[in-house]
Structure 1
């Protein structure tokens, strides 16, 4: 079945990897605007892990967090950040500049050059600073910026390959200079990059359609079709409900996955990386998983289907999970639910 293959592709059944870096490298990119939830998205796909292990990978620069692909935050591995940014940077920059103009936010060419020089000065020597610290540094140097302007400035600097994520400070994300954070790697020609992006997506998200790939990658329809054509020898085509799905040849098409239950974070790849989500949940339940403004909620996945919601009780210091189900008569096995909750709690407490 489609969901069985997808569970294996996503490493949500029979996970193959032990380290956060291996997992993110396999997935290609993991949406990460909710920082804490994105770390759990990595942890829930590993054989065994902890928040500390994910934090360590981020601190070492093995995993980076930046605006890439679609104009939102993603985790990527250091080796992939440059060629992915070459593919998507201009498109992301255009999207955010359009947003900035609509909110009367503007950075002149001279201001941008001055700001880049300031960034290099403030972050030089492998320094990691939060957005607030950078804002304070800009203002101290006589370049007045508010929260909107510094955010827009930093996104532009990301897409130009000047900055990326640095070492966290008290669980807060920071910025660092890309050239200091990531050793140089061999550049990919555009066609090599397109083929690589398609390979990463379909190996980790199969089965998926062309519209799914367009949505996830941010590529134009023409670019996405070309990327698929470049790796057509490594893809199979299957029809599900009259739709054409692509499967990477590395997929186990005979796989069957049962007794699989995960507490998936908000914005998890299992849902957000597809244009059509009816393959894993009934349309009538969509508003319980995401709203029309693009907000995605934490959900419960059982045997490939999205069956409910969960949340952490914010009033408790120790992780305490509350759950609810779309269909209270769904007969979710208590032992599987307890195992999933226990793993979530141990992930956040294990050293």
Structure 2
């Protein structure tokens, strides 16, 4: 399926179409589980950031709503791809791991040798961990590491987190309910009792289709990077599902998206004046291999200072990133401060007013009221 090309697109329009696909324009998603399922997977190495990322997409939701969904197992947080934590629907985790875990484990082989983690060590660690948490029990990371130490498995340095990650990638453990700002470790099959089964080809095709529906307009290279899957398999999957997508061409590159998102082009894509306060690590920025359409290259270092891998909170206006913001991570309220790239002129009055509304939304989400 193909739509009009070239002249109808610009970086701003592509950015706003992505916002619409991600539930950040229009009515948003109906519930926390619906948002996570519709987004396919959301980057989640920073827990407060992903809680707000979900909250932004569910009108009227509070932080407690997202935390409760984790506590009830309606959404899960694990390492399904790229060796990076994501939240996703529980029924999707096992089949995604079946596709990605072999490649992930092979990619970590050299690091495991450095940490002296052998296949026998992983088997022994699995036995110890499952003895600790099977039967519906849960353990903190500290308790798990203590059990591993008692069983003769060192957790010093990064060895403990690599053992935990490998056991989660093998589908034996998963992170479960919250205890403060940490998640307890539980047995996968105790926590996730309903898993879908898809073969590799079918699974990659569904994964790619859902990615383009939730993140499009995006390219096949965006999906290959995001999922960590080979480009050859990505192209084979695209051939299976492209009749369910719309192709747009911009500067010689094909972008794929859902027909529903593409239909916004007919009457003018909304959001030209929309201002959003997004968390660090949000999918709007991190969900793509090429971020230059929405983040000017000259400002990239403002988002990830020194390339340290820590993404700051972003202000998005008209489909592009125009600055960063700072605000409280807890429940105490306090100031939410805009830090636009144009520090001399700052935000225009209308944009400043819109940002203040976003700040009030964030404070309500935290349960801190609307006062500054």
TM-score, normalised to structure 2's length?
A: 0.89
What is aligned with 1:269? Answer: 283
Task: Indicate how the Cα distance of structure 1 residues 314 and 191 shifts in structure 2: closer, same or farther if over 3 A, else same.
Answer: closer
Q: Deviations over 1:132-155 (max 9, x none)?
A: 110112223444432411111111
- 2-side partners of 1:223 and 1:293: how far apart? 31
1:83: Cα distance to partner?
Answer: 0.9
SS at 1:161's partner residue? coil
1:316: Cα distance to partner?
Answer: 9.1
Alignment of 1:224-235 (within 5 A): 224-235=234-245
Question: Cα RMSD over matched residues?
Answer: 1.9
What is aligned with 1:301? Answer: 316
Alignment of 1:297-336 (within 5 A): 297-313=312-328, 317-328=332-343, 329=345, 330-331=347-348, 333-336=351-354
Task: Indicate how the Cα distance of structure 1 residues 320 and 130 shifts in structure 2: closer, same or farther if over 3 A, else same.
Answer: farther
- 2-side partners of 1:327 and 1:350: how far apart? 29
- 1-side partners of 2:330 and 2:202: how far apart? 49
Alignment partner for residue 72 of structure 2, among 51, 60, 75? 60
Alignment of 1:95-244 (within 5 A): 95-101=107-113, 104-244=114-254
Residues 8 and 15 in structure 1, CA contact (< 8 A), matched pair in contact too: no
What is aligned with 1:259? Answer: 273
What is aligned with 1:246? Answer: 256
Residues 330 and 366 in structure 2, CA contact (< 8 A), matched pair in contact too: no
What is aligned with 2:293? Answer: 279
Q: Deviations over 1:172-217 (max 9, x none)?
A: 1221111000113341111210111011100011101121111111
- 2-side partners of 1:259 and 1:205: how far apart? 21
Counting matched residue pairs gives 349
- 1-side partners of 2:22 and 2:206: how far apart? 18
Alignment partner for residue 357 of structure 2, among 328, 339, 344? 339
Task: Indicate how the Cα distance of structure 1 residues 166 and 314 shifts in structure 2: closer, same or farther if over 3 A, else same.
Answer: closer
1:3: Cα distance to partner?
Answer: 2.1
TM-score, normalised to structure 1's length?
A: 0.94
Q: Deviations over 1:66-88 (max 9, x none)?
A: 11121111001101101111111
Task: Indicate how the Cα distance of structure 1 residues 314 and 119 shifts in structure 2: closer, same or farther if over 3 A, else same.
Answer: closer
